[in-house]
Structure 1
Amino acid sequence: MHRAILSFSCILAFAGQASADLLDEARLGVMQHNICVQDCNNADKEDGPNINGELVFKSPDFLSIIWAPRPYVMASANTAGNTSFGAVGLVWNWHFAENWSLEAGEGYAIHDGTLESPFPQGDPRGDAFTEENVLLGSRDLFRTSFALNYSFNERWGGQVMYEHLSHGQIIGNGRNQGLDNLGVRVIYAFGH
């Protein structure tokens, strides 16, 4: 839990330093950690939800060439002491109905989770270790996210979000079990 408090404190400190002209939204929520999406062999290996906080910035003019995504910085702290991570990236938002929008994001994350088993292949302790730990294979990962957003009013909104973390054999090699998280977040929009 201390990681969650520290992560959220860092986000608030960063928000305090950021110019109001640059900051667009702040988001805070809870994510179910390591859910089953496609390959359920690695799901549910780690306990505890993640506390997830994010700052989203207004899109700078030079990003208009790629449909004006908004930059973000985020932190996700696992409440049971398992994999926590921070990420930076871009999110694209498409409004499809009054108060509703879809969001897709791509980013770069660094985590504190397990990379490989400390035991040699064939060691029975290795089997027990891999039953409890997600082996991510690389300290840095891609973070892909999809969300459904709803605006309650001009300032407040809610979001259901899915995120996937993996090195994709691009920024790492070897083990690539990845993480899938699903949760809800509250959105606060700053003045425009």
Structure 2
Amino acid sequence: MNSRSLVVIASACIGLAAPAAAQEAFVGAYVHGVDTPFTLYTGEGGTDIMAGYRFKPVDLGFLGHPAPYAMASVNTAGDTDFIAGGFGWKFGNGPIYARPGIGLAVQDGPSERYDTTGRRTDLGSPVLFVPEIAIGANLSPHVALEASWVHISHARLFNWQQNPGLDMMGARLVIKLP
């Protein structure tokens, strides 16, 4: 079984298992491999289709009440796919809100890749951190639209000399479930 099949199967399992407990479902399209100050060129591109669920917020004491989430991202150009889980906080109760989050991802990118100058461009580890930030707008009581940035990286923890990271930017439609 290849890694793309694993991501598709994991996404289906998340989708089948989550509806009874999910607070929100989301789906979006992202530009893959956006050049930002947090990344180096990896040679990856294309579009990512991301889908996931946010569960009801949990009380984490001094960390507040984040909503646990699970998501999957499939790259349409055959580049790095990933599945992730973590916590997201929502700030703002009006029509506009911010939603930062942090989690862990398992990715299927190459374990070793070099550019034409000999510099490593692989992501350095199959397990990566996933910080993200979204700005959302409530379109109705049950629908929101979020513009978001998602970053995957190992933060130089697994190889202090190599960490190109990978950024995705896009928009997602959020459906609020009962």
TM-score range, shorter chain: 0.7 to 0.9
Looking at structure 2, the residues matched to 175 and 82 of structure 1 have their Cα atoms a distance apart, in angstroms, of 19
Larger radius of gyration: 1
Could you tell me whether the CA contact under 8 Å between 1:11 and 1:55 is conserved in 2? no
Q: Which residue of 2 aligns with 1:42?
A: 41
Looking at structure 1, the residues matched to 85 and 39 of structure 2 have their Cα atoms a distance apart, in angstroms, of 27
Structure 2 letter corresponding to 1:49 = T
Q: Which residue of 2 aligns with 1:25?
A: 24
Structure 1 letter corresponding to 2:28 = G
Change in CA separation of 1:10 and 1:89 when aligned onto 2, cut-off 3 Å: same
Which of 117, 131, 137 is 1:150 aligned to? 137
User: TM-score, structure 1 length as denominator?
Assistant: 0.80
Change in CA separation of 1:58 and 1:128 when aligned onto 2, cut-off 3 Å: same
Q: What secondary structure, in the 3-state scheme, does the structure 2 residue paired with 1:147 have?
A: strand
Q: Which residue of 1 aligns with 2:79?
A: 82
Structure 1 letter corresponding to 2:143 = W
**Kindly, what percent of the aligned residue pairs are identical?**
30
Looking at structure 2, the residues matched to 39 and 93 of structure 1 have their Cα atoms a distance apart, in angstroms, of 23
Report deviation, 1:152. Answer: 0.6
Q: Per-residue displacement from partner, 1:122-168 (whole Å, max 9, x unpaired)?
A: xxxx543968x831111110000000011111111100000111101
Instruction: Please report the RMSD computed on the Cα atoms of aligned residues, expressed in angstroms.
Output: 2.4
Looking at structure 2, the residues matched to 39 and 12 of structure 1 have their Cα atoms a distance apart, in angstroms, of 31
Q: Name the structure where helix makes up a greater proportion of residues.
A: 1
Looking at structure 1, the residues matched to 117 and 48 of structure 2 have their Cα atoms a distance apart, in angstroms, of 22
Q: Per-residue displacement from partner, 1:40-98 (whole Å, max 9, x unpaired)?
A: 7516x11210001111000124x2441100100000000011011110100011006x2
Looking at structure 1, the residues matched to 28 and 19 of structure 2 have their Cα atoms a distance apart, in angstroms, of 23
Q: What secondary structure, in the 3-state scheme, does the structure 2 residue paired with 1:94 have?
A: coil
Looking at structure 2, the residues matched to 54 and 151 of structure 1 have their Cα atoms a distance apart, in angstroms, of 18
Q: Which residue of 1 aligns with 2:147?
A: 160
Looking at structure 1, the residues matched to 123 and 131 of structure 2 have their Cα atoms a distance apart, in angstroms, of 15
Looking at structure 1, the residues matched to 75 and 166 of structure 2 have their Cα atoms a distance apart, in angstroms, of 12
- Residue 176, structure 1, aligned to residue 147, structure 2: no
Q: What residue ranges of structure 2 are gaps of 5+ in the alignment?
A: none
Q: What secondary structure, in the 3-state scheme, does the structure 2 residue paired with 1:128 have?
A: coil
Report deviation, 1:14. Answer: 2.7
Q: Which residue of 1 aligns with 2:55?
A: 57
- Residue 99, structure 1, aligned to residue 95, structure 2: yes
User: TM-score, structure 2 length as denominator?
Assistant: 0.86
- Residue 14, structure 1, aligned to residue 10, structure 2: no
| Bigger mean CA deviation after superposition, 108-117 or 25-34 | 108-117
Q: What secondary structure, in the 3-state scheme, does the structure 1 residue paired with 2:15 have?
A: helix
